[in-house]
Amino acid sequence: MKKVFIFIAALAFSTSVFAGGFVTNTNQSARFLRNPARTASTEIDAIFSNPAGLSFMDGTFAISLNNQMAFQTRTIKATFEPFKLNGGKETKEYVGKAQSFFIPSIQVAYKIKNNWVISGSFSIMGGGGSLEFKKGLPMFEAAVAGGLVQPLTQLNTTAANPDLGYTGNMLGYSLDMNLKGNSVTYGAQLGLNYKVLNMISFFAGARACIVQNGYKGHLRNVSITNADPVRTHFTNVAYMLENKENPTPLELGTAAALKNAAAGITQLELGADQINIKLNTQQKGWGMTPILGAHFNWKNLNIGVKYEFNTKIELKNKTKQGDNTTGDPSFDDGVKTRNDMPALFAAGVSYGFLKGKLTPSVGVHVFLDKFAKMPGNKQEYLKHNSYEFLMGLEYVINDRFLVSAGAQITRLGITDGSILKKQIKNDVITYTDGFQSNISFYCNSFSIGFGGACNIIKGLSLNLSYFYTGYDKYKNDNPVYKHPVLGGKEVYNRTSHTIGIGLDYKF
């Protein structure tokens, strides 16, 4: 049997469990989860969302400790006719689950003098969890099913001949698949504010980003199901025809054909048994992000802007000998892959009504994805940069309690269908698609968050919040495992839930 395998075209198994763009986490505090429109904030969480706004924070010193718990499900519903050979259904659902119970961040700011503020933070800037598809991915199974469909169909057509009298189960296949990826980008930020005219402030700083990714998977134990009874039946019928009294030439020809079919089943079993693909690799890299910001404050009006420059990140593989049997050299030890963190422009406005008790806010995020280098140059397939619209409302009930809620709309520049590329090298066919794939797919989304804060004692407050993201389904009518004759279809979907808790202290 000719072995045709399709594996990952580029290491891009994103496992982000946060809000934000393709690789950037924008929710860095429990405050964000209850009101994502933080781009005009003057509280301690402004260190990420609006760093120039720290010049207008209350008090001299502030610190914020946060933890988030995130739960995400990714689902791929794939339709491919050869899948019927494994379970009887041509449409299957592959589910990947990610969960993280400890996603911390710490933010600190100190007013050196009236016009100067120094700030720093440590946070999870990308990824933050492990995602596992316990039953593998459709692109893996399609590689096996696509190679087996022709010989198995021919053998099953023979077995289904009424004259042979076979009434048992037909030939099929089974396999053992699994893929697990983990990804985390640690961010350490330091910056300085300067305020002029008591209305305008500026920020300059930088963030060091350290990336650690891991990928582990296998495709093995491929076997031909129901092989023994079908082969035995072919052999028995052939023996019966050969040992008839005065067998006709047609009967002798049929017996020979059945013997060949029985031998073909054995050859298929031996070929399937040789399929053993393994992957176990780690990636590490780092980059530096320059950050600039400005803020305008007048009475209860706040306007903030921020620009984070593109972060050049080059990831290097660490793969032990024997841990990459995929046949793809991009997983080999020492291979380097660009995976930049795109530049980000953020702007927001808030205004306090009712003497500051009721504060609506709006904001926008623009990720300059098309100018960032991605694995496999995937940025070339984007229609436009990603953008987000944010809105929120906060109400101070009394001196002890406040509540808030908000929403976020995320629109990505993904293409309306994959652009398929076919490559033939050393008699092995591989397919790569445009931006979307089983390994790394994204969907437009709508998020809502709500929660509140309680002043425990003077200067110390507790934040509790919840953030839900719903996703638009994405239809991929030209999946990466496209068969020369039989086409496939996929539908991608996601769900995401995040719970946040934070302690803020200031004096």
Determine the Cα–Cα distance for residues 242 and 255; give it in Å rounded to an integer. Answer: 6
Residue 1: its pLDDT value, please? Answer: 41
Per residue in 172-219, pLDDT (tens digit) is: 999 999 999 899 999 999 999 999 989 999 999 999 999 999 999 999
Question: What tokens appear for 103 in the block?
Answer: 């996603």
Q: Is the full-model pTM beyond 0.75?
A: yes
- Residues forming a β-bridge with 191: 119, 205
Residue 441: its pLDDT value, please? Answer: 87
Per residue in 115-147, pLDDT (tens digit) is: 999 999 999 998 888 889 999 999 889 989 998
Q: What is the DSSP string of 318-382?
A: E--TTSB-SS-GGGSTT-EEE--B-EEEEEEEEE-BTTTTEEEEEEEEEEEGGGS--GGGGGGG-
What are the CA-CA distances from residue 355 to residues 299, 434, 462, 496 (Å)? 10, 52, 23, 36
Residue 425: its pLDDT value, please? Answer: 55
159 falls in which pLDDT band (50, 70, 90)? Answer: very high
Determine the Cα–Cα distance for residues 82 and 105; give it in Å rounded to an integer. Answer: 47
Judge whether residue 7 has pLDDT over 60: no
Determine the Cα–Cα distance for residues 87 and 89; give it in Å rounded to an integer. Answer: 6
Judge whether residue 484 has pLDDT over 70: no
Count of residues in the chain: 507
Judge whether residue 67 has pLDDT over 50: yes
Per residue in 304-324, pLDDT (tens digit) is: 999 999 999 999 999 999 999
Identify whether the C-beta of residue 150 lies closer than 8 Å to the C-beta of residue 235: no
Nearest to 183 by CA among 210, 208, 211, 207: 211
Identify whether the C-beta of residue 6 lies closer than 8 Å to the C-beta of residue 430: yes
> What's the average model confidence in pLDDT over 489-496?
93
Residue 112: its pLDDT value, please? Answer: 92
Residue 418: its pLDDT value, please? Answer: 47
Judge whether residue 11 has pLDDT over 50: no
> What's the average model confidence in pLDDT over 21-30?
89
419 falls in which pLDDT band (50, 70, 90)? Answer: very low
Domains and CATH numbers, the chain: 30-506 (2.40.160.60)
Judge whether residue 10 has pLDDT over 70: no
Nearest to 200 by CA among 52, 62, 300, 60: 52
Which residues have CB under 8 Å from 198's CB, separation 6+?
Answer: none
Per residue in 74-121, pLDDT (tens digit) is: 999 999 999 999 999 999 999 999 889 999 999 999 999 889 999 999
Identify whether the C-beta of residue 396 lies closer than 8 Å to the C-beta of residue 436: no
Identify whether the C-beta of residue 71 lies closer than 8 Å to the C-beta of residue 467: no
- Residues forming a β-bridge with 306: 293, 346
Residue 156: its pLDDT value, please? Answer: 96
Q: Which has the minimum average pLDDT: 44-48, 269-273, 390-394, 426-430?
A: 426-430
Nearest to 476 by CA among 400, 418, 415, 427: 418
Determine the Cα–Cα distance for residues 432 and 380; give it in Å rounded to an integer. Answer: 14
Per residue in 351-384, pLDDT (tens digit) is: 999 999 999 999 999 999 999 998 888 888 888 9
